[in-house]
Amino acid sequence: MTECLETPHVYWAQRHGEIYLRVEISDAQSLSIGVEENILHFKGQGHGAKGENEYEFSLEFLKPVKPEVKHKSTQRQVNITVKKQEHVWWDRLTKQEKKPLFLAPDFDRWLDESDAEMELREKEEKMNKISIESRVPFLGLKKGFLFMYNLVQFLGYSWIFVNMTVRLFILGQDSFYDTFHTIADVMYFCQMLAIMEVINPAVGLVKTGIMPAFIQVMGRNFILFVIFGTLADMQNKPVVFFVFYLWSMIEIFRYPFYMLVCIDTEWKLLTWLKYTIWIPLYPLGVLAEAVAVIQSIPIFDETKLLSIPVPKAIGTSLSFSFILQLYLVIMFLGLFINFRHLFKQRTRRFRTKKRKAN
């Protein structure tokens, strides 16, 4: 790579198939831009880092690119697009490891690899939507199934939330102690049905990750069926109220959002609530679940329920409380994984909306 005396500031970003360069030259004239032997050559007149001058630079790319170069000049900058020969992610832009002094990341367009993959999938889905609908006659059935699933879950969790709220206002703290006996049947139904959130991405009905859904659904079902369902002493504790209430508060915003997605409709307030309200509620829900696990440990120790018999040489049994202690560690690890996934999803969503608005 050769570097001339007058070089402009150049900012870069990439996608799997393209390289984007933004050259900081205003009112650019006499532009000469091309790729020869995998080296981009730029030359032009304009106002840049060193005032009104003639600017020139060259960049030898890390991997092969196509010779065709697209560029668009505006009053403030020159935007250049170069297509890669292969749709792969590059570790850096240039063949030489040391970055040129005039080159810097373009944070206005910068995405990490996973975000770029998500953006690529969204573009492909949008471009192929019409052709897919014409080739797949049962697409309407898929959307109808997903709409009905989210509707049923929304109605179930809405009933739970409204029922618990009304009882709280009427009975006050007394409602804490019989939550399980009042709400459990509907919660059992909703949480068993929620297994579809693991099956749907596994069979390709939705394009979301399987692991985050598996962690959340299986974690909740463990609390509901094992901690609350098998221990009568746990069913009258106030922690049941807080676990159920926090779960329902999250879901009454999440499921209607996905209902609207199924019919290609968006309600901005609901979108904001769906991507924001979980930030305080999700950790609080996991904290309530952890309290339930901790409160159940002495009961499992006393009753020996679900303990695993072992040879006498080792001991009488392996207490289920030991498994619960391991589960607590896994629970908070799952919190970190899911929180990171959801936060990236939220950031990507609002970054995309901001880009479209601009």
CA 197 to chain centre: 15
Q: Which two tokens stand for residue 172?
A: 């006050």
Please confirm, yes or no, whether 177 is among the known catalytic residues.
Answer: no
Residue of 117, 289, 302, 327 marked catalytic: 289
CA distance 93 to 58: 12
Residue type, 57: F
DSSP 178: G
CA distance 23 to 31: 12
CA distance 287 to 75: 54
Helix, strand, or coil (residue 320): helix
Residue of 117, 282, 302, 327 marked catalytic: 282
Please confirm, yes or no, whether 289 is among the known catalytic residues.
Answer: yes
Residues 6+ apart with CB under 8 A from 233: 299
Contact criterion met (CB below 8 Å) for 102 and 22 = no
Helix, strand, or coil (residue 281): helix
Query: Which residues carry out catalysis?
Result: 282, 289
